[in-house]
Structure 1
Amino acid sequence: MQKLSVIAAAAALLAGCTMEPHYQRPAAPVSQDFPQGGVYATQPGATGNSGQPGRSANGVAATDIGWRDFFVDPRLQQLVEIALKNNRDLRVSVLNVEAARAQYQITRSALFPAVDAVGKDSRTRVPRDLQTTPNNPYSLYNVGLQASWEIDFWGRIRSLKDQALAQYLSTAQARKAAEISLVSQVADQYLTMLADDDLLKVTQDTLKTAQDSYNITKAQFDTGTGTELDVRQAQTVVENAQADLQSQMRARAQAENALVLLIGEPLPADLPQGLPLDSQNLLADIPEGLPSDLLTRRPDIMEAEQNLLAANANIGAARAAFFPKVSLTAAFGTESLSLGGLFKAGTAAWSFAPQITMPIFEGGANIANLDLAHVQKRIEIANYEKAIQSAFREVADGLAARGTYDQQIQALQRSTFANQRGLDLSELRYKNGVDSYLPVLAAQTSLYSAQRSLVAARLGRETNLVDLYRALGGGWIEHAGETPRPADAPVDYGAASAPAAASAPAATAG
């Protein structure tokens, strides 16, 4: 047993030794700053989309703004709350974290000795010349404890543990990214429904106006004061509006179906009254910060870095495979030729069997595994850099859109007013016999197009603000000022929840 103590002490001294390469975070392959000038130079302040004073973020970063503070529509707030409880994709993400936690604990357990209670009964026959017992064949009964332990001199098991830990943390960040994405998806889909409602109203108003014009031209034709050409021109507007109405009704129903899928249940009947599309009053002046801030604010980037750390740790395990494996097996118990004599005096037995296994010829497997580990690390470096580039592009796109939508909407509002005034004048001239019906037709078509473009621009502005909030890392906390949850925090889903007693791994830093 003294030898075992010496070996255990040596193992303890080498416990921190691994062959993992020194990790160095790759440089961010993007500019040090977001684009400047042009469309980026006209970022909005705390104003609504109509130029009226609105709410301000007051310089607070997106990650510190709760989604209940970003959204003011009570109906949307409740829909987000329902989705966070019911969405099945998010539930799978949480369960994946539980699975990764269990896998980490399985891998980590290999660092400790395994102790088992063993009971055996063996029947043996030996050659007569080697016989030492009165019976041949004879039975041998054994009961006791058996322990086995691989001493991790070269850090192979430790590297595998580090790899499993990084994979667990990566899965936790993936869950966080999924939750943030769900918040923005619900908001985008809800805003799309509001836009569909506005388009339906525009189309219905256009259809009513067109129908009234058609009735007038038809009556004039029936009395001989109008032409069939005017009737047919008026009819085209009616039929086109009728076709658009059916299309908009279909789009509205499908948008609601998509929202139902996101929240995981039918729309509740007791939802609070919502706000119209042009009154959402989202925070439009959230500061973008620097591209380097995204490394700590975007969970998808942190997920990619944890995958890179896992690949780096795997290299250590592949390197350690070239060196000897030292394992200890020990047993202590009682042994007897008869079952009844197992616990009599003089039946104590023990064994101690150190073993060293040195790889000599593996058919190139160890070399190939090391080459594969290096290739996988290069792949994860590329994935990490791509995650940074994608995040940079999402924020830059959002800033470009945020710098142009307000002016676009204001121009479309003026265009809509001008088209409405043009239609009124065209109808007046037609009724007084100054012009044919063609100018009226053109004015109706132009107004309808301008109204649809205005709704689309309003939707684009609101969804862009939501997506920019997500791209900057917002949506993880519910209320501004609260302490963010850990990415691997358990979630209570009631009867379908993940086990509330599950805890994070004992070690989270390597």
Structure 2
Amino acid sequence: MTKFLTILAASLALAGCASMAPTYERPAAPVAPQWPVPQAGTAEAKAADLGWREFFTDLRLQSLIEQALANNRDLRVAVLNVERAQAQYGVQRADRLPTVNAGAGQTATRAPGGTITRQYTATLGVSAYELDLFGRVKSLNDAALQQYLATDDARRSAQISLIAQVAGSYLTLAADQERLRLAEQTLLARQDGLRLTQRLQGAGVASTLDLRQAEIAAEQAQTDLASLTAQVAQDRNALALLVGQPVGAEQLPVTGTSAPVTRQAELSAGLPSDVLLTRPDVQQAERTLQAANASIGAARAAFFPRISLTASAGTASNELDGLFRSGSGLWTFMPQVSLPIFDAGRNSANLKIAQVDRDIAVAQYEKSIQSAFRDVADALAQRATIGQQVASQQRLVAQTQDALRLAEARFRQGVDDRLATLDAQRTLYAAEQGLINARLAQQVNRVTLYKALGGGQAGTQSAS
């Protein structure tokens, strides 16, 4: 037994060899060193340092996000993928250590004369353990580790995306509810206008054309009301799908787009080199690249001899009670060497595949950086002007409200026909819808920028 343990220890010492994988170097980021939109110096917080509870201030939205993180099926699949990748890594890591098995047996033999002899054995052995002299097993282990970590990065990316999707769906529902209320108010106003026109037409003041135009305006408002009623129901269904369970009435937004659901302080964009590399989707692409780089080491090691050991030690005796007596010990030691001589170019082709996979991973990593850069740049570009759009739209609503008031007064005085009033009503309706759209865009832009800058990572679990 002592000899067996000595052989096993020596084998483990020989197996501790370095990988033949190329030295990994992170590719240079193929993007500009600065964002294309200059940043103001008033930004105070980094998105990556803000947990989602700190960034989203609306309590109803916080409740929905919490439920989505617990019940969303896509996120659940992402979590299970991490567990599966972790188990696969455990399987691969086990190849770096020998598998030791204990065995006990009996062999009975009957001779032609009727004599029966028995042989009892008890052994402890290692079967086909590969000495990793050229780092093949280590490279495969390194690749499996990076694939596992990449899966966890994918899980974190899915979680951040889910948080942003729930917030966006919540804001869309709030905006459509506000549009529905506007449509209801518009329908009531146009029905009042229709009744007024009917009275004036009966008195001979308004023409039949005026009446038809008022009827058309009322029907258009009725159509918008029906369409928006269906849209609000669809928004609720979309939100329920993200949350993973039915959404109660107490969780629906009670205010429109004018009430903020996030922190109002501007987020700091930082430098691209600092921001982009912390995003989990970029980290996932780099993990995939590192796994491909490690696979090259395994492909290179295939050109060299592969040494495996099978060894066992134990005792044997013709009698069961004699198994552990002095002089009953036995051991076997069977090293095997496999040297590739002719493989019809298989190893060379496998190495080429590994190298091309690495080049593909480099291109995908660079593309992920470029896509992340564009996400942030687009959000910053919109942030730079969205405040002006909202302010301009507010002024437009105020101006069209005044224009409608003047048009109605002129119609009652008989100065203008009904067409001027209807035009003013349609203009105001469009301006109020535009204000809802602008406010929604402003709120969604905050959420989009938070996600693009890697927000939502604070407080989340990461692979170790």
Q: TM-score, normalised by structure 1?
A: 0.84
Distance 1:68 1:3, change over 3 A: closer
Aligned residue number for residue 475 of structure 1: 456
Query: Helix, strand or coil for the counterpart of 2:18?
Result: coil
Separation of aligned partners in 2, 1:270 and 1:215: 38
Choose 344-353 or 282-291, whichever is displaced more.
Answer: 344-353
Distance 1:146 1:136, change over 3 A: farther
Cα deviation for residue 9 of structure 1 reads 3.9
Read off the aligned partner of 2:220 and give its amino acid letter: N
Residue 38 (structure 2) pairs with residue 30 (structure 1): no
2:70 to 74, 85, 93: 85
Deviations 1:215-274, CA, capped at 9 Å, x for gaps: 111222234332111111111111111111111111111111111111111123554975
Read off the aligned partner of 1:422 and give its amino acid letter: A
Alignment of 1:186-335 (within 5 A): 186-268=166-248, 270-271=250-251, 275-280=255-260, 282-335=263-316
Could you tell me whether the CA contact under 8 Å between 1:44 and 1:285 is conserved in 2? no
Aligned residue number for residue 144 of structure 1: 123
Could you tell me whether the CA contact under 8 Å between 2:4 and 2:311 is conserved in 1? no
Deviations 1:344-365, CA, capped at 9 Å, x for gaps: 7765432111111111222322
Distance 1:94 1:331, change over 3 A: same
Deviations 1:102-154, CA, capped at 9 Å, x for gaps: 111110111111111234567999xxxxx9x9889998664422213211000
Separation of aligned partners in 2, 1:76 and 1:106: 41
Deviations 1:384-428, CA, capped at 9 Å, x for gaps: 001100110000000010011110011111111111111111111
Query: Helix, strand or coil for the counterpart of 1:22?
Result: coil
Choose 292-301 or 273-282, whichever is displaced more.
Answer: 273-282
Deviations 1:137-179, CA, capped at 9 Å, x for gaps: 9986644222132110000000001001001111111111111
Read off the aligned partner of 1:428 and give its amino acid letter: A
Residue 99 (structure 2) pairs with residue 107 (structure 1): no
Query: Helix, strand or coil for the counterpart of 1:171?
Result: helix
Distance 1:373 1:44, change over 3 A: same
Query: Helix, strand or coil for the counterpart of 2:57?
Result: coil
Separation of aligned partners in 2, 1:410 and 1:301: 36
Where structure 2 has 5 or more consecutive residues not aligned to the other structure, the ranges are: none
Aligned residue number for residue 17 of structure 1: 18
Residue 67 (structure 2) pairs with residue 66 (structure 1): no
Separation of aligned partners in 1, 2:161 and 2:229: 27
- The count of residues paired between Structure 1 and Structure 2 equals 461
Where structure 1 has 5 or more consecutive residues not aligned to the other structure, the ranges are: 46-57, 126-130, 478-483, 489-503, 505-510
Separation of aligned partners in 1, 2:283 and 2:440: 31
Separation of aligned partners in 1, 2:221 and 2:108: 92
Aligned residue number for residue 340 of structure 2: 359
Could you tell me whether the CA contact under 8 Å between 1:282 and 1:462 is conserved in 2? no
1:405 to 371, 380, 386: 386
Could you tell me whether the CA contact under 8 Å between 1:207 and 1:238 is conserved in 2? yes
Could you tell me whether the CA contact under 8 Å between 1:211 and 1:238 is conserved in 2? yes
Deviations 1:27-81, CA, capped at 9 Å, x for gaps: 0000000003xxx56x695xxxxxxxxxxxx622111112222121111111111
Cα deviation for residue 297 of structure 1 reads 2.0
Separation of aligned partners in 1, 2:249 and 2:105: 67
Distance 1:222 1:138, change over 3 A: farther
Separation of aligned partners in 2, 1:20 and 1:201: 64
Read off the aligned partner of 2:145 and give its amino acid letter: L
Separation of aligned partners in 2, 1:369 and 1:136: 58
Separation of aligned partners in 2, 1:99 and 1:389: 30
Could you tell me whether the CA contact under 8 Å between 1:70 and 1:282 is conserved in 2? yes
Deviations 1:476-496, CA, capped at 9 Å, x for gaps: 23xxxxxx44413xxxxxxxx
Distance 1:218 1:275, change over 3 A: closer
Cα deviation for residue 188 of structure 1 reads 0.7
Query: Helix, strand or coil for the counterpart of 1:21?
Result: coil
Separation of aligned partners in 1, 2:265 and 2:194: 44
1:422 to 403, 411, 416: 403
Residue 387 (structure 2) pairs with residue 387 (structure 1): no
Deviations 1:284-343, CA, capped at 9 Å, x for gaps: 511100110124420110111000000000000011011111111111234467889867
Query: Helix, strand or coil for the counterpart of 1:278?
Result: coil
Could you tell me whether the CA contact under 8 Å between 2:173 and 2:253 is conserved in 1? no
Could you tell me whether the CA contact under 8 Å between 2:44 and 2:265 is conserved in 1? no
Read off the aligned partner of 1:97 and give its amino acid letter: V
Residue 141 (structure 2) pairs with residue 179 (structure 1): no
Aligned residue number for residue 143 of structure 2: 163
Aligned residue number for residue 52 of structure 1: none
Residue 357 (structure 2) pairs with residue 376 (structure 1): yes
Query: Helix, strand or coil for the counterpart of 1:157?
Result: helix
Query: Helix, strand or coil for the counterpart of 2:331?
Result: strand
Read off the aligned partner of 1:144 and give its amino acid letter: T
Query: Helix, strand or coil for the counterpart of 1:232?
Result: helix
Read off the aligned partner of 1:423 and give its amino acid letter: L
Cα deviation for residue 16 of structure 1 reads 3.8
Aligned residue number for residue 499 of structure 1: none
